[in-house]
Structure 1
Amino acid sequence: MPLLTTRPTIYLGTWSARTMWETGGVFQIASETRRYNLEVLGISETHRTQVGQQRLTSGELLLYSGHKEENVPYTQGVALMLSKQAQKALIGWESHGPRIIKASFKTKKLQSIVEKCPTKDLTILMRDLNAKVEIDNTEYEDIMGRHGLRERNENGERFANLCAFNKLVIGGIIFPHKRIRKITWTSPDHTTQNQIDHICINKTFRRTTEGVRIKRGADIASDHHLLVAKMKLKLKKHWTMGRTISQKFNTAFLQDTSKLNKFKIVLSNKFQAFHDLLNGEGTTVESNWKGIKEAITSTCHEVLGHKKHHHKEWITVDTLDRIQERRNKKAAINTSRTRAEKPRHKLNTQK
């Protein structure tokens, strides 16, 4: 079974979007996913209802889970955005309400382990948990380091107990980083900053994680920063028995005289070789049809090639300009030396 052409090191992320209902919201998240080379992005606070999946024109696949009832408020909601490579390794996914979504992937390292011990899985837990975890890791040395940001709150206590019970390591407080690289949430008035978004991995696969830090340059009009984990992991393609998608040949090339002449010559040569085989004994109508089909399709492959689909993005140029303008303002805020300078840029994060 061939491996995907992914890098030995892959990147996973988690982000609180605050909403995905605004025009261009999904496109903007997909754009940032490609910009930071993320294979899987966990998204919370999508405010989407129902359960389903959406394939984007740019190739990403969005799996979402929200309230299933009719006429409910657009609150909560979680989603996973998968790159083209991650989609090929997807085994299956499950919705568990508006706060939990689960997806399973096949990996190179997992394969030999799964065959011997099916209960051993690489488990990754990531989202905005509103849990503050302190520097003191007494009694939690196995699942957390000493690089937290603030004192542990009530949610942080429950979160630490959850990780200890399930042997999940909290990635964001294992690796030493500058304080600015740990802050995952900033209040709208820029006075309060916390580390409340987390990425966890089960202890068995602790060594696959090479680093966890935020990406301050990513922007989707949220008060949360994108949190990314760098992992040493290769996804393996999960083969499914499905219907093959037919591809169209680029017949527009036949309008070119040189291409048309080449097509005629190659096809004529293939038919000549096929004609010689027809003179032999034991030929049937079925074998003749297969021979003719093979001659035509192989010539098309060789001379014309497949037609490429160019998807037209529905997002407007004006929206793209506004996205870039917001990104520039956020960069200016991030590089402000004092708190007094931040309000000057007036970055609007209200929905």
Structure 2
Amino acid sequence: MTQGGGSRKEATKPRNLLSTRRTTRLGTWNVRTMYEAGKALQVAREMEAYQLDILGLCETRWTNAGECQLASGETVLYSGHLEKNSPHTEGVGILLSTHAKMALIGWKTEGPRLISAEFRSHKKDINFHVIQGYASTNDKDQDVKETFYKMLLNTIDQIHKSTWVSPDQQTENQIDHICVNKKDRRSMRDFRVYRKCRRSFGQNLLISTIRQKLKRRQGIVNNHRHRYNVEFLREPSSREEFNVAVKNRFQVLETLGEDSSVKETWQAIKEGWTTVCQEVLGKQKREHKPWISATTLRKIEDRKKKNDQVNRSKTRAAKAKAQEEYTKAIKEVKVSVRQDKRNYVDDLAREAQEAAGAGNMRGLYETTKKLAGRYKNAGVPVKDKEGRLFTNPDEQKERWKEHFKELLNRPRPEKTV
């Protein structure tokens, strides 16, 4: 019991996003929509493929604002239109890896076009801020564009960057800078403005932390083990393709002479298996959805390859042909995802009916949970009396405290005759 409790405690222990020993990778992506079956799976797979810790999302088309956890472990902070019966348009979000979620301090939303989050770093008194915006296009009204950039500037101004403040404390500006040679830029660890010095000297102190970094030596081999997606071998066509590739590869090994050493033979065999697994099966990825079939996963990978062909096309005719094949692949993926979802729901409904007929309440409960979906709200934002969202845990606690204080201290209702 102690060992298990310690493991759970370690899993929920706060982490740091930025450190000197770990590289943090961020990205931003206009996904066009997240309001589509299987789209969260595809976005999470791409995030994992590029080894991103934080991925900003534009045009999610989700309504309301909140925080939800995917079945694969990633967390989505999202913000959309807050009005009732609002359309599924615009919307922004931030997709966090498990490590980034543990470093999350709090997040704020400014409607369907702006969301920001704050994370811990290796320095206790320095936090890391991420702002994801979805700017308006030029054909929008001038008032809409000005409103967005005004909200963006207000959000950025909350991050302390000024080094000079006027005597009347009304005007702030950044007038002090530290210049670094381009070659030594990698050695700069941190820049920070210390506001405490303003009290005695009238201006803020600007400090930079430097740690010498040397260029990594070339030729270092990374010998990490890889797992391959053996789920594809369940399909007859994929299994036949794998068998043919293995036979062709090992026919080459027969050309090795008898004078070959054991080490050379083993290296050739190892390279043969590795090459076939990479070309046919591909590296194993975490299963984000229990209802996504291997056929759909293969179609998703094929769609990605056809997208690469569009980008590599040199002529207009080749690009048009590749774009046509890519559009066809997109439709095939959507149809396959919807069919997988339908089959999965039908199977669960059949299992629930069988469990209810047999009186298996435990099985009925587990099946109903799966049927309801794996998405869950990890932290639903709390609103104040004016309707402003509280996404910070401390602010939510204070609001609940205020709510129950008013609820429990209400005057007694007058007795009616």
TM-score (norm 1): 0.45
Higher Cα Rg: structure 1 or 2?
A: 2
TM-score (norm 2): 0.38
- Tell me which protein shows more strand as a share of its residues: 1
